[in-house]
Amino acid sequence: MPNALVDFSNALAAMLEAVSPSVVRVEARRRLPASGIVWSASGHIVTANHIVQIDENIQVGLSDGQTVAASLVGRDPATDLAVLHVERQDLAPVTWAETDDLRVGHLVMAVARPGRSLQTTSGVVSALGGPWRTGAGGQIDRYIQTDTAMYPGFSGGPLVTADGRAAGLNTSAIVRGVGLALPPDTIRRAVETILEHGRIPRGYLGVGVQPVRIAPSLQDEAGGETGLMIMSVEAGGPAEAAGVLQGDILVSVDGNAVRDVDDLHSLLTSEMAGAQATLRLIRSSQFLDLPVTVGSR
């Protein structure tokens, strides 16, 4: 009688063998190497930004046992993504899954190559959510949490579904103690922008802020109970050029309320870099609208 468990086990092993050529070793830090995913046959590799701690002398270990030199194309610390390039034209790009195909409870595997051979741990998708923003302001298209063990060197490798497609890139750096995967749409957007510009431009004002409670008499006109007090103004930055002063309270950008730091980050997108905006401030209990040219960082 056929043994269903053995057949299932053999099928998983065969699937991992098929994925193996798309998973590489990334030697870009002094301690244990980490992993990366082949993005294109022409030599582009995507990995986790936090494991790329040097800009030169990066090495990549391929599935055929060869170790080749890699260059850093660009990085996006806000989403923990980096793009490398090796001089090869015969790599095997991974097949990406559609994020909407994932469901809580689906079997997944974290695949990595921190050494010469492939490594993996298995688990399930433990939580899924909608778009969210990292503490550094990076926009993530979907929240993917798994209970796969993230051993040292697993960051940068793919989260693989039972049919052998990559549902994301594993990272242990964005939320401490939680195994997360960056979804394909987020990766695709970041890679395309990095390949075009060498970086991810983001809007910035050049201010340090802290949430504060607005005086009750001003809350109606401010449209809320809290705003962001300007704690510091960067010399030569966009805010200084616009006339923003330390002690001002920022309540909106282009009419969009800012109640906490996340609100401000969510508004300072790459599309805002270089654009004109209006800052609504409270200064000495008076409301003030200042035009500003949003900078790019």
The rounded distance, in Å, linking the Cα atoms of 205 and 207 is: 6
265 is catalytic: no
155 is catalytic: yes
> How big is the CA angle at 297 (ends 289 and 181), to the nearest 5 degrees?
110
State the catalytic residue, choosing from 22, 35, 44, 50: 50
The rounded distance, in Å, linking the Cα atoms of 62 and 21 is: 7
Owner of token pair 């992993």? 35
The rounded distance, in Å, linking the Cα atoms of 64 and 161 is: 23
Residue 42 has φ and ψ, to the nearest 5°, of: -85, 10
Task: Give which of 128, 125, 127, 121 is closest to 105, Cα–Cα.
Answer: 125
| Other Cβ atoms closer than 10 A to 286 | 8
Total residues belonging to the chain: 297
State the catalytic residue, choosing from 35, 44, 80, 85: 80
State the catalytic residue, choosing from 155, 172, 248, 252: 155
Q: Residue 129 carries which side chain, given as an amino acid letter?
A: G
Token output for 127:
């939580």
296 is catalytic: no
Task: Give which of 163, 173, 197 is closest to 75, Cα–Cα.
Answer: 197
Catalytically active residues are 50, 80, 155
